C-alpha cells in the first residue's frame, strides 16, 4: 500500500493530499530511511517516523486497511511507539511591575506602589 494512502486511512492527516505533501516534504521516515515519494510501498511490520508541528509520531504498521473509517478502526492499523511528551513546566512568574493580561486598569493604590517600586531603582 502507498504511504500517503495509509497515513490518510490511519487518520494521521485530514486529507490524502496533505498526506502526499507530508511525505514529499521529507517529514516521513520509513524504517529510518527518509522517503521522498508518497507512492513508497508500505508493509505490515514497518515503522514510520512522522514529524508533525509540535510532536514526533513513531508508528508501527499493524494492518494496512481497506478504507478510511472512524477513529476506532484507524487506531487498529498501528501501534504507537512514540516517546511520551515531556512534562509541562510551570510558567515563570512575570517580571515585577507587570500585570496579568486582562487584569484591568491599575487602581490608585496599585499605581502608587508601581511608582514607588520604579523610583527605588
pTM for the model: 0.69
Residue 40 lies in a domain: yes
pLDDT at 11: 94
Q: How confident is the model at residue 99 (pLDDT cuts 50, 70, 90)?
A: low
Domain range spanning residue 48?
3-80
CA pair distance 47, 49, nearest whole angstrom:
7
Residue 121 lies in a domain: no
Number of domain units in the chain = 1
CATH of the domain at 45: 3.10.290.10
Residue 39 lies in a domain: yes
pLDDT at 96: 74
CA pair distance 100, 98, nearest whole angstrom:
7
CA pair distance 92, 6, nearest whole angstrom:
42
- In the chain, the largest separation of any two C-alpha atoms, in whole Å, equals 71
Residue 115 lies in a domain: no
Residue 19 lies in a domain: yes
**pLDDT tens digits, one per residue of 22-44:** 999 989 999 989 998 888 899 99
Residue 52 lies in a domain: yes
Is pLDDT above 80 for 57?
yes
Is pLDDT above 70 for 101?
no
Amino acid at each position: 500500500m502507498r504511504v500517503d494512502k495509509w497515513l490518510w486511512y490511519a487518520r494521521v492527516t485530514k486529507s490524502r493530499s496533505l498526506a502526499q505533501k507530508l511525505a514529499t516534504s521529507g517529514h516521513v521516515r520509513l524504517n529510518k530511511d527518509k522517503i521522498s515519494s508518497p507512492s513508497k510501498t508500505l508493509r505490515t511490520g514497518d515503522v514510520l517516523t512522522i514529524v508533525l508541528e509540535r510532536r514526533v509520531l513513531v508508528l508501527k504498521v499493524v494492518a494496512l486497511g481497506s478504507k478510511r473509517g472512524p477513529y476506532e478502526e484507524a487506531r487498529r492499523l498501528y501501534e504507537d511507539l512514540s516517546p511520551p511528551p515531556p512534562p509541562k513546566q510551570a510558567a515563570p512568574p512575570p517580571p515585577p511591575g507587570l500585570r496579568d493580561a486582562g487584569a484591568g486598569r491599575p487602581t490608585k493604590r496599585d499605581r502608587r506602589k508601581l511608582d514607588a517600586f520604579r523610583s527605588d531603582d
